[in-house]
């Protein structure tokens, strides 16, 4: 599989080169995490979604414009019918313009998919897991079965996939588990990234009650662990630390307490073909109809316009009267 490069990289108005795309394959999810989604969500009808062939074609256009890493997201990507076939096809681009194909999942369907993901060329995945307590897990997700998720993580490990656990730090909910989660990740060979809750989309819960600044979490952890800053950066939002005596890395994603946008190298594509320059803004272009028209040049022009107007940074404020944007994380691609 050869991908022809057109040598027209995407560089925004602040000199940031766009090399990473998060492609959502669905806005649907089989969980309803309280900080992320409303209990009764309205999802896009199937007719509005990009087909899997269109997602594949868009991926090729993005690689031709300099994207080197693609992460498949949702919603929950593994609920989309035929998605493993898409993963297999995209995996053939690795080494032909694409450096890496990864996936973020809630783990509910990972047990059946882990082997196919590895066979397709995926080597790393992120799994969202906010607690290892079954009752808390059901409370946070409203519907989830923790055993199903832990089984999926175990299957991923058995399939030789490198797992990173993403844990949203929630005041009064799971903050007492963070040190325990870190020790479990180390025992299992997983990295751990802690994330501040983000004000995206309207939910029934009061996010201000859940907000837990990660600088406070870090100070608490440093009472028990020696954290050594790592120079390694992926261009993403996480700041990583080595934990003395552990093989696991610890990351902090701090959209509220410590803005991380200066090195942003990404764009986000929704399942309906809307491309956002920033998670926290509505600046966007619509690609679905352009893709269906068959005119690659118009897609290129739209991407140029998007990147030229990419905001310098988000403006998340946990105590604002309204969320930063009306769309939920599952719409943008988590």
* Residue numbers belonging to the annotated binding site: 22, 29, 33, 35-36, 71, 75, 104, 128, 164, 198, 261, 264, 266-268, 278
Show binding-site residues for S-adenosyl-L-methionine.
Answer: 35, 75, 128, 198
Candidates 121, 57, 42, 130; CA nearest to 84 is 121
Cβ neighbours of 226 (radius 10 Å): 12
Sheet holding 227-229, edge to edge: 227-229, 239-243, 249-253, 191-196, 162-169, 124-128, 100-105, 69-73, 20-24, 266-269, 274-276, 284-286
Find the DSSP H helices in 189-332: 207-210, 214-221, 288-293, 296-308, 329-332
Beta carbons within 8 Å of 34's beta carbon, 6+ residues apart: 139, 140, 141, 142, 203, 204, 205
Radius of gyration of the chain (CA): 19
CA distance 108 to 144: 8
- Parallel, antiparallel, or unpaired: how do β-strands 227-229 and 239-243 relate? antiparallel
Vertex 2, ends 332 and 160: CA angle to 5°?
A: 60
C-alpha distance from residue 120 to each of 24, 102, 198 (Å): 18, 10, 32
Q: Which two tokens stand for residue 62?
A: 């993005």
Structural tokens at position 173 = 């909910």
Binding residues for GTP: 22, 71, 104, 164, 266-268
Per the CB < 8 A criterion, the answer to whether 327 and 319 are in contact is no
Residue in the structure block whose two tokens are 């450096």: 99
- Please return the burial class of 183, using the count of CB atoms within 10 Å of its CB with bins 0-12, 13-18 and 19+: middle
- Annotated binding-site members for [4Fe-4S] cluster: 29, 33, 36, 261, 264, 278
């Amino acid at each position: 599989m050869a991908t022809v490069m057109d040598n027209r990289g995407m560089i925004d108005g602040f000199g940031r080169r766009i090399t990473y795309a998060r492609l959502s394959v669905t806005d649907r999810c089989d969980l309803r995490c309280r900080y992320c989604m409303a209990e009764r969500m309205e999802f896009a009808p199937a007719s509005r979604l990009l087909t899997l062939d269109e997602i594949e074609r868009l991926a090729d256009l993005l690689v031709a414009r300099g994207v080197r890493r693609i992460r498949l997201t949702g919603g929950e990507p593994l609920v989309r019918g035929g998605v493993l076939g898409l993963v297999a096809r995209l995996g053939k681009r690795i080494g032909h313009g694409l450096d890496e194909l990864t996936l973020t999942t809630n783990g509910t369907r990972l047990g059946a998919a882990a082997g196919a993901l590895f066979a397709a060329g995926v080597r790393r995945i992120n799994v969202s897991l906010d607690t290892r307590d079954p009752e808390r897990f059901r409370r946070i997700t409203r519907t989830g079965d923790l055993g199903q998720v832990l089984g999926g993580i175990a299957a991923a490990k058995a399939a030789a996939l490198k797992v990173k656990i993403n844990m949203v730090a929630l005041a009064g909910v799971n903050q007492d588990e963070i040190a325990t989660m870190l020790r479990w990740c180390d025992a299992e060979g997983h990295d751990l990234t802690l994330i501040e809750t983000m004000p995206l989309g309207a939910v029934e819960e009061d996010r201000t009650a859940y907000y837990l600044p990660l600088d406070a979490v870090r100070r608490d952890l440093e009472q028990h662990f020696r954290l050594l800053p790592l120079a390694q950066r992926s261009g993403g939002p996480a700041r990583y630390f080595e934990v003395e005596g552990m093989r696991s890395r610890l990351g902090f994603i701090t959209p509220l307490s410590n803005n991380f946008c200066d090195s942003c190298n990404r764009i986000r594509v929704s399942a309906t073909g809307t491309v956002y320059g920033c998670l926290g803004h509505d600046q966007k272009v619509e690609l679905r109809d352009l893709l269906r028209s068959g005119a690659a040049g118009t897609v290129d022009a739209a991407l140029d316009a998007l990147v030229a107007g990419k905001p310098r940074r988000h403006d998340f404020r946990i105590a604002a009267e309204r969320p930063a944007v009306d769309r939920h994380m599952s719409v943008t691609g988590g």
